[in-house]
Structure 1
């Protein structure tokens, strides 16, 4: 075999090896692309499943709140109304009038509470109005002094998103009343150019954030609700220096 023939054979072998390498590379690229696509589909499917579960849980909670609202309004409300009428008709002077007045006040607050937890009532009003009513209800109860402030120009938000945002703040306010021993509560709604920021701050006893965050006590509902609507919620607290909720929802 002469030198030219050997060179030709070498070139052919090299060409075949090169083509094999190209084919292997293409097959590997197709395989990796398909693998990554399947992984993305799996991740998206898991997210859709988790979202469906979260939505179902929220729907169940809202339905439970609706039922409780009806029970408060229809059953307990009627009992208090009857008690008020009886107290007004009893001859007892000023004492019975005070009893009737107290029952009447309790009845009004019961109706306000019933409205604040009823999803149908909240659907008919904006986030700002719902927060305004809730702050007013807290002030009437006189457990603490609540303050409410709106900064920026309000923009329209999906009503379903507004309900979730309100429930998050409402849960924080409820926890403040029950556990914080606070004397003041400040709620601020800030409409920024690209986001809605809601801040709730109390001056209560606070808690060890790290310890409770590790256990997830009292935060899971807020986190799940925020995640469902694409918002970010952060609770921070210092023992003896109060607790703060910062809720951020991006505006399209």
Structure 2
């Protein structure tokens, strides 16, 4: 800010530079305080003056810059010895091509001769809001070299990051179907609109009221939408709908309703009343808008503190407060300086707001990522608990099934089998004593003999003695030999690496798996040859069964019958994996892999 900046309030809005110069004693300028003086204008005009001197021995052009694009009126006068040397006029709706410096901000160039000193006067007027005057004087060469590139690169970087955050938020929305990410993306999108309209970006697209409101009032529309989306996001983020007290839930909707009414007022006044109310009650509207803009911030901070106090999403509320602290500081500093309670500073520049908002966005993205990870961890934990419970149920069922097999096998062998053998022996002894030859009785004896053999076979298949006494290798060899003896299939069995007994659980389940696979081959495959290979590695047991049958379509769910499901269930019980590789006309290959580390 230039040294010696002075200001004058013009309540009449009728002062001219000629009157000020003609009657200087009637218009006393006061010293402006702060490096960016701020005044609650209430629609009044303010005049500012300062001295500008070219301290070099060459002619130079200087640039007087006001980094704000939305004044209703800005007039610049260069005066020397009470003579007006230069007059320039700008307004928010002045096209950039018609400006002396092609930029959205209020920038006034002035050429000075060597060692020339002048007095600069600036008149500023804004219908609604405060007048903020962070004046900067540049040498034209330095301005052209630095200002444009820094301005465009900075805002391009900021808008680019925010657009990426919006895109990423909507990706998360589509991935997880959680409306929290929708409100967050909407919040950031409205922030982009607020920043762009506050900076006058793209004003040529809405300067004529194409979006339903007078061009310079689009910043109020975007500000209101920004506040509404922020309230929707924080309500969802801190789950105010789950609070025991309904105050925050109802109050949030009340504040959103108030902001929506203000939004509708802007559109109705422009579209239906031709801005009559806005012009007639600009001071009142200015006061209402100022409260509307800082009250939601205060309300959100209070709500977050309350959540921390009652331990409702306390961690999220605490980190949100930390993230929101820079923006809250700027908002309240702006409010206090607008009401002239404290001196205005450059802290309220949109660049600082954008930086604070970027910081908030980064922190919130980290918090949302943490929240997402916590949700995934919880879901994974629930899935693991569900899987474990299901595995325990499967284990209990299979163990109960095996116990029942053992019991039935024992009952068949020791109970029914023994009784049938006793009956046959008694009947045979009776015939021997009586020396009776009866064909019907002999047939009955033969049937008894066949029944005894069948019961023994069933008993053996349900719980083969070789499995419990001699182990998996011997049991499989005996089982394969019996099938080969029937002439139905030609089975080739290879067992590699099994030199000692495995755990009872693995031996029993693997035997049942081989039984189930061969049963399916006999019933469905129409195969003539089967190859079985059982290999024990250091940390896993691999079973490969291949046949030359007709094969089946593995993608057809109708082919996944009870047999395949039984195999899969037993493999899952052993924490293993099974793969069925088949196609119609080329046979079937079944590969079972069982870990040996955690299967004891």
User: TM class, shorter-chain normalised?
Assistant: 0.7 to 0.9
The one of 471, 474, 479 equivalent to 1:129 is 474
The one of 24, 27, 32 equivalent to 2:367 is 27
Gaps of 5+ in 1: none
Contact 2:554–2:580 (CA under 8 A) maintained in structure 1: no
Distance 1:176 1:99, change over 3 A: farther
Query: Hey, which of these two has a bigger chunk of helix by percent?
Result: 1
Q: Does 1:82 align with 2:422?
A: yes
With 41-50 and 108-117 compared, the bigger mean Cα shift is at: 108-117
With 66-75 and 113-122 compared, the bigger mean Cα shift is at: 113-122
Shift of 1:123: 4.6
Q: Does 1:216 align with 2:556?
A: no
Gaps of 5+ in 2: 1-33, 37-133, 135-343
The answer for the alignment partner of 2:35 in structure 1 is 2
Shift of 1:54: 1.7
Distance 1:144 1:43, change over 3 A: same
How many residue pairs get matched? 249
Distance 1:48 1:66, change over 3 A: same
Contact 2:464–2:475 (CA under 8 A) maintained in structure 1: no
CA offsets per residue over residues 65-114 of structure 1, 9 Å max, x none? 22331332133312441354257544559xx9999789667645643541
Question: d(CA) in 1 for partners of 2:362 and 2:421?
Answer: 85
Contact 2:472–2:501 (CA under 8 A) maintained in structure 1: no
The one of 387, 403, 411 equivalent to 1:47 is 387
The answer for the alignment partner of 1:228 in structure 2 is 573
Name the TM-score, length of structure 2 as normaliser: 0.35
Question: 2:575 aligns to what SS in structure 1?
Answer: coil
Question: d(CA) in 2 for partners of 1:12 and 1:128?
Answer: 77
Shift of 1:12: 6.6
The one of 49, 52, 60 equivalent to 2:400 is 60
The answer for the alignment partner of 1:115 in structure 2 is 460
Question: d(CA) in 2 for partners of 1:240 and 1:23?
Answer: 60
Q: Does 1:188 align with 2:221?
A: no
Question: d(CA) in 2 for partners of 1:98 and 1:140?
Answer: 26
Higher Rg of the two aligned structures: 2
Question: 1:196 aligns to what SS in structure 2?
Answer: strand
Question: d(CA) in 1 for partners of 2:534 and 2:389?
Answer: 32
Name the TM-score, length of structure 1 as normaliser: 0.74
Shift of 1:222: 0.8
Shift of 1:196: 2.2
Shift of 1:220: 0.9
Question: d(CA) in 1 for partners of 2:587 and 2:420?
Answer: 36
Q: Does 1:69 align with 2:409?
A: yes
CA offsets per residue over residues 151-184 of structure 1, 9 Å max, x none? 3454664321222121111112233344445544
Shift of 1:44: 1.0
Contact 2:530–2:547 (CA under 8 A) maintained in structure 1: yes
